[in-house]
């Protein structure tokens, strides 16, 4: 008679993938990552200072932030992978290679679930921020439309009054003074900011917008029409160049961030795999797992 039962060396009810151990390691890794990031943010804030010649530079702070992001992520997944490998049920697999592979696979699954948890948290946070931003945008007024520092600066630069020579004093010396003009109405300032912002986004200034801005500049500053148009062209060219430089810096930062994030994720995967194998080895060899110190047995004298 042939008895059909569990595979040789496998206990009844054995599962090749033990999700409780994986979920425990992933949750622990996500929690540790959050704690490490919070701790690193506090250290970074304590290292900078608004006072001149005090605290570390922005470049140094950025390098330390990248290093800490890598280190905390790798460390958190190493601990989570070790926990999953250590908690996995001991089973007499066919070979040592099988044991190591299954332990490492549990560490990789800890990494995958931890990444999914982090992505869900980021998605939820981004969703709430986007909702709040949409609510604020819906309530924005015309004055708030021109509140962008860069666009408002170029809008103000267009309306600067031209200096005019004052009456001669002394031996042929002249003093230069700016005429007193009424403050620019907020509606007009907001309209100019919208025109500049839209033109910078489009990459060119339309002829009708150029003529309209030139007329306003000539009326407000007293410049000749040709000089007013030249000011409009120069101001738009400067605003367009500044916007392109900012976009290029953002692109470089995005590329660097993407490469660093991908590299840290791959290294974290390898770390979680290795740590899970290490945890499985400690499980099979009955190595004590203690957080503090080395356990020393207490010998009691029999009475």
pLDDT band at residue 92, thresholds of 50, 70 and 90?
Answer: low
Query: Where exactly are the structural domains of the chain?
Result: 19-135+258-284, 143-162+183-245
pLDDT, tens digit, for every residue of 255-285?
A: 888 888 888 889 999 999 999 989 888 888 8
pLDDT digits (tens, 9 = 90+) for 93-152: 567 888 888 889 999 999 999 888 877 766 654 444 444 444 444 444 333 333 456 777
The pLDDT assigned to 166 comes to: 52
Please give the residue that has the higher pLDDT: either 234 or 3.
234
Q: What is the pLDDT of residue 212?
A: 86
Rounded CA separation 147/109 (Å): 48
pLDDT at site 77: 92
Give the per-residue pLDDT at 14. 58
Identify the residue with better confidence: 294 or 250: 250
Average pLDDT, rounded, for the chain: 74
Q: According to the model, what pLDDT value does residue 82 have?
A: 92
Residue 173 phi, psi dihedral angles, 5° rounding: -80, 145
Q: Which residues, 6 or more positions from 148, have their beta carbon under 8 angstroms from its beta carbon?
A: 193, 197
Pick 110 or 300 by higher pLDDT: 110
pLDDT number for residue 3? 43
What is the spatial distance between Cα 31 and Cα 35, in angstroms, rounded to a whole number?
6
CB 55 within 8 A of CB 48: yes
As a whole number of angstroms, the distance between CA 52 and CA 71 comes to: 30
In sequence order, what DSSP letters do the residues of the chain get, joined into one string? -----SPTTPPTT--SS-HHHHHHHHHHHHHHHHHHHHHHHHHHHHH--SSTT-S--HHHHHHHHHHHHHHHHHHHHHHHHHHHHHHSPP---SSHHHHHHHHHHHHHHHHHHHHHHHHHHHHHHHHHHHHHHHHHHHT--HHHHT--HHHHHHHHHHTPPPPEE---BTTTB--EEPPP-PPPPHHHHHHHHHHHHHHHHHTS--HHHHHHHHHHHHHHH---HHHHHHHHHHHHHHHHHHHHHHHHHHHHHHHHHHHHHHHHHHHHHHHHHHHHHHHHHHHHTT----SSS---PPP----
For residue 88, pLDDT beyond 80: yes
Question: Residue 60: is its pLDDT beyond 60?
Answer: yes
Question: What burial class does residue 279 get, using C-beta atoms within 10 Å of its C-beta: 0-12 exposed, 13-18 middle, 19+ buried?
Answer: buried
| Least confident window among 7-11, 53-57, 115-119, 229-233 | 7-11
Could you tell me what percent of the chain has a pLDDT over 90? Answer: 10
**Average pLDDT for residues 21-43, to the nearest whole number?**
86
């Amino acid at each position: 008679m042939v008895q059909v039962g569990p595979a040789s060396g496998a206990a009844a009810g054995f599962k090749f993938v033990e999700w409780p151990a994986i979920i425990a390691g992933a949750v622990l890794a996500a929690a540790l990552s959050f704690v490490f990031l919070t701790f690193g943010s506090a250290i970074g804030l304590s290292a900078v200072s608004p006072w001149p010649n005090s605290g570390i530079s922005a470049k140094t702070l950025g390098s330390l932030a990248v290093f800490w992001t890598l280190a905390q992520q790798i460390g958190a997944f190493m601990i989570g992978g070790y926990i999953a490998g250590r908690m996995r049920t001991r089973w007499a697999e066919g070979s040592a290679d099988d044991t190591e592979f299954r332990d490492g696979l549990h560490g990789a699954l800890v990494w995958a679930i931890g990444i999914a948890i982090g992505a869900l948290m980021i998605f939820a946070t981004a969703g709430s921020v986007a909702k709040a931003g949409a609510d604020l945008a819906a309530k924005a007024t015309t004055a708030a439309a021109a509140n962008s520092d860069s666009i408002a600066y170029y809008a103000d630069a267009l309306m600067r009054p031209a200096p005019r020579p004052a009456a001669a004093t002394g031996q042929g010396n002249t003093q230069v003074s700016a005429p007193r003009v009424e403050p620019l109405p907020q509606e007009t300032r907001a309209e100019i900011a919208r025109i500049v912002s839209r033109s910078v986004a489009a990459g060119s200034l339309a002829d009708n917008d150029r003529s309209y801005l030139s007329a306003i500049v000539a009326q407000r500053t007293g410049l000749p029409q040709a000089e007013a148009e030249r000011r409009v062209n120069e101001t738009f060219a400067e605003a367009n160049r500044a916007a392109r430089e900012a976009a290029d810096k953002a692109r470089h930062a995005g590329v660097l961030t993407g490469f660093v994030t991908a590299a840290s994720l791959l290294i974290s995967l390898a770390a979680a795999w290795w740590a899970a194998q290490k945890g499985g080895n400690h499980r099979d060899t009955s190595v004590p797992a203690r957080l503090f110190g080395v356990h020393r047995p207490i010998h009691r004298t029999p009475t």
